[in-house]
Amino acid sequence: MTAYYWKNLKDIPQRQLADNDEYHALIRKKISAENALKVLISKEAWRRYLELDAISNELESVRLEAVYLAGASDYEKLSK
């Protein structure tokens, strides 16, 4: 299950979010807020923000994998 998840990781969210207007609106808001923040802070602070954002993305990936695996496990249990 884990191998399938990681092999298809990029396709799963793209398929689920491709037509999600709320998601795309939030992405536009995030980009706008980041651009405004970048103008106001130092290069060092911006670098640290990007590091924090990368860590948050990694945490979200771990969370999504756990949710996927829990759902796959439940499906296996129900199909038996």
57-70, pLDDT tens digit by residue?
999 888 988 888 88
Grade residue 73 by pLDDT with cuts at 50, 70 and 90.
Answer: confident
pTM equals 0.66
Is 1 within 8 Å of 72 (Cβ atoms)? Answer: yes
Give the separation between CA 54 and CA 18, rounded to whole angstroms. Answer: 22
6-50, pLDDT tens digit by residue?
666 666 667 777 788 898 899 999 999 999 999 999 999 999 999
